[in-house]
Amino acid sequence: MSSDRLPALGHDFRQPELLRQALTHRSFGAEHNERLEFIGDSVLNCAIALCLYRRFPQIPEGDLSRVRANLVNKETLHRLALSLDLGKSVRLGEGELKSGGASRPSILADTLEALFGAILLDAGFDAAQEAVVRVYEPELDCLDPNELAKDPKTRLQELLQGKHLPVPEYAIVNVKGEAHLQTFEVVCRIPALGIEATGAGASRRSAEQAAAAVAYEQAAHG
């Protein structure tokens, strides 16, 4: 990595120390990225809000808020950070590095937000917004606001209600990994339809949503 550029972001830092700080976890040193993450969180929310407002002029405020929430949550940030291979650039303390910090979802998500904050301080909001849109382009290009406005659990529940069936049952069936890097496996059961769908995620909630998405497809098209 160049000292003043992270290629995937498409931004040349005038103040390379901001890039270094954004990539520095608190385990590495005192000049870490948590304050930049605080700024980056707000930048990200505003940039995505503007993008959605302009792309989807007919979508009401409530649905825009739900779509934005799906785009800026930690799971999406983690996925995008992986696509940028940020784990290779994050500066971690020795203990954090040995315990798998370079692949930890929370660290990668926070680092990406810190980078957006660093770009704002380095070159202003327009530059930060351009970086956000560039990173989010794959998500935005395939965005279906009608699908994202409601999360999978909500869509599944509404589908079952339309069929006059009870709400689904969710249960954890497996937990893998160390305490700081766990993967939850959840089953979504709909006894009336004979459906048992499984999903996995970094939290119980995300695993339930993944299982609900599978169950929805089976219930809607089975």
What residue spans of 142-203 are helical by DSSP H?
A: 145-148, 152-162
Q: Could you tell me the CA-to-CA distances from 152 to 31, 32, 218 in Å, in that order?
A: 40, 36, 12
What three-state secondary structure class fits 181?
A: coil
Asked if 17 is an active-site residue, the reply is no
What's the distance, CA 120 to chain centroid? 20
Closest by CA to 110, choosing from 38, 54, 49, is 38
**68 vs 62: CA distance, rounded Å:** 10
Six-digit token string for 63: 């649905």
Neighbours of 138 (CB within 10 A): 11
Q: Which two tokens stand for residue 103?
A: 């692949």
Contact 119, 128 (CB under 8 A): yes
Would you state the torsion angle of the CA atoms of residues 62, 68, 69, 74, taken in this order, to the nearest 10 degrees? 180
Active site residue 12: no
User: Using CA of residue 202, residue 84, residue 29, residue 114, what is the dihedral sign?
Assistant: negative
Write down the catalytic residue from 4, 12, 41, 139: 41
Catalytically annotated residue among 37, 96, 110, 113: 113
Active-site residues, by number, are: 41, 113
